[in-house]
Amino acid sequence: MDNKEIIELLRADMRGEHQAIIQYLFHAYNMAEGEITCEVETISREEMRHFERLGHAIVELGGDPTIDREPVDFAVGSPKEMLLKDADLEQVAIDQYRDHIERIDNPKIRRLLARILHDELVHKGDFQGLADEAEEEGQELAAPPDVEAPERQEDILNSGIRHEYTVILQYLYHYFVAEGKMLSEELENIAINEMQHMGWLGEALGERGGNLDMNHTEPFLSRDPEANLQANIDVEQEVTGDYSNQAPELQDEELVELVERIRDHEIYHDAVFKDLLEQVREEKAVKSEQSTEKETPAELKPRQIPTVGSLKKK
């Protein structure tokens, strides 16, 4: 099997991991806080690590990672019903990874998929156990069925969730294709911070009886670090303005504090991206200058006219 075929299988695996991440988070945000919810979020974070490892593997093989996902079931049921759906989704992943391990002949990729497969087998058992625990302990949803979030409040929080989701994907893609340790690490760190934001907003909306919209808008994806950083600056400045305008509309003081906290993080991200962009442009200018010097033929370079002193020495 050639690299192109392997890349396509890994991209399918990334879509499955992406699906699992969002489904598990959606279920966690719709359940009341407690040990079960924490366990679901922990499993979701492990799926994020799978997504990351697959993305890096694809880049190493010369391909482009994907940020697409398989369709997510956004139906809200009882905690037990949702957890059993998660166990079923793990079985889908188990079957797919086993198939891909059998078909792929690259030893390094086979080891990676076997490692992920082991996690998925554990996750399936965890979800089945959590489903039984949810039934025994009477695990509740985040908000009673008769509680509904005010329409404008729901719109504002969902707007934030869509933004955070979009930039998570955008920054992760830029992280996968970035060259240079500093740029790569900063992109990863900011993506992780945006994941926190999405979690805070999702939990806040779920607790207040809102309907979560866990979809994203179109992210900016390219392999040009300069274009990527400029796009990141633009989107950070746009959302900073949105959060600043939306905060006064919220009647809930806790939500006002939350939105303002996230906004201040975005202001920091903007500054970091500006510093990174300046560094990238400086490095680009140095490389361009060095390239020009190497490419200029010796006969075209300015002749050094001898001075009187130098002639006398001869």
CATH of domain 147-292: 1.20.1260.10
> Residue 147 has what pLDDT?
82
The topology (CATH level 3) of 1-142 is Ferritin (1.20.1260)
DSSP annotation of 114 reads H
pLDDT at 61 over 90: yes
Residue in the structure block whose two tokens are 């989107």: 235
Query: In angstroms, how far is CA 119 from the centroid of its own chain?
Result: 20
Residue in the structure block whose two tokens are 């690490």: 185
> Residue 40 has what pLDDT?
98
221-273 residue pLDDT tens: 999 999 999 999 999 999 999 999 999 999 999 999 999 999 999 999 999 99
Residue in the structure block whose two tokens are 């990527």: 228
Residue 235's nearest CA partner among 174, 152, 183 is 174
- Rounded distance, CA 133 to CA 148, Å? 27
> Residue 296 has what pLDDT?
57
Phi and psi torsions of 31, nearest 5°? -110, 150
> Residue 255 has what pLDDT?
97
- At residue 314 the predicted structure's pLDDT band, cuts being 50, 70 and 90, is very low
For residue 70, the tally of other CB atoms under 10 A from its CB is 16
136-157 residue pLDDT tens: 999 999 988 778 889 999 999 9
The answer to whether residues 266 and 244 touch, using CB atoms and an 8 Å cutoff, is no
The answer to whether residues 61 and 108 touch, using CB atoms and an 8 Å cutoff, is no
Which amino acid appears at position 121 of this protein?
Answer: L
- Rounded distance, CA 223 to CA 280, Å? 13
Phi and psi torsions of 180, nearest 5°? 110, 130
> Residue 16 has what pLDDT?
98
For the chain, give the mean pLDDT. 93
- Rounded distance, CA 119 to CA 297, Å? 58
193-214 residue pLDDT tens: 999 999 999 999 999 999 999 9
Q: What percentage of residues in the chain have a pLDDT greater than 90?
A: 87
**Residue ranges covered by each domain of the chain:** 1-142, 147-292
> Residue 139 has what pLDDT?
94
Query: In angstroms, how far is CA 274 from the centroid of its own chain?
Result: 20
296-313 residue pLDDT tens: 565 555 555 555 555 445
Query: In angstroms, how far is CA 71 from the centroid of its own chain?
Result: 17
Please list, residue by residue across 2-20, b when 16 or more beta carbons sit within 10 angstroms of its beta carbon and e when fewer do: eeeebbebbbbbbbbbbbb
Residue 236's nearest CA partner among 265, 203, 211 is 265
- Topology agreement, domain 1-142 and domain 147-292: yes
